Structure 1
Amino acid sequence: MKRSAAPFRLDIVPLPRLQAAIAGAGALAMLAVALALSAHVPSGWPMLGLVPLAAVAAWRLGRPRDRCLRWDGQGWHLHQWPEQGAKSMGVSHAALDALAPVQLALVFDLGDWVLLRASRPNARLPIYLPLTRATQASSWGAMRAVLYGGRKKPD
């Protein structure tokens, strides 16, 4: 008899350190482009002014949207919170009851930090979900059990 984990919910929350790393990578990428351009084109040095803009853009794009990842005992469902503040107030919204099935894949597992890739059947691009043990303490063990429970061991 196959048993599955009990239903649970994970709230996807911002991770400031990860967001800062993404902003730093964006700034460094723009700096590399600006320096390469100014090395080949002497009048390209004003491109250096775009480095702070790239950092700000990467900071804003690096923040995950407020989402809810649910395991219902049979499959994963990913929902986006429909309004700001609904998650923090504990409001149960009708959108969370709608079907939003996803296939989850484990991209990185660093022990206390995992990166998941959620793919919807009709979507072109996957959604990446960074999770840490510190932000998901109550459901961390159940989440890992579900993620690793159906995997085959390599021969």
Structure 2
Amino acid sequence: MISVEEVHPACNNHALVFGASGITGLTIVNALLHDYPERAWLSSPMLQHVEGLNLLQGTHEEPNAQINSSVPDVSSITTVFCAYLEERDMEAKTTTNTRLLKRAVSAVEAPSSELRFVMITWVSRYAVCKSVHIFCTNAASPLH
């Protein structure tokens, strides 16, 4: 997981990219930082790399606590990019990615009243999570 804060004063956006070490995630980070195709993106002052967060391990509350303690300015996150995990078994794929998406959104929407947009980077796999009716638990959330 990588937290990306755009420092352009007119934008004032704060994005969270889950799966940033993957192909799609790396492309998103590069686009957010506007330095494509330069590989030195990890040294940018606009980027904080947070290691060791696994949305699929532990209780539902554990990722929330880890994000709150590890991600700088978590309350200002406006955008979340959510990764996709490939599995050979369709049922396992559905279960894993539905859980991943629910936990990612839940972990960010609670501390951030600024959350406006969740990007599912695996759009071609969207049907995997079509059974998820509610991603947000906060009724006041713009994503609800």
Q: Where on the TM-score scale, by shorter chain, does this alignment land: which range?
A: under 0.3
TM-score, normalisation: structure 2? 0.26
Structure showing greater radius of gyration is 1
TM-score, normalisation: structure 1? 0.24
More strand by percentage:
1
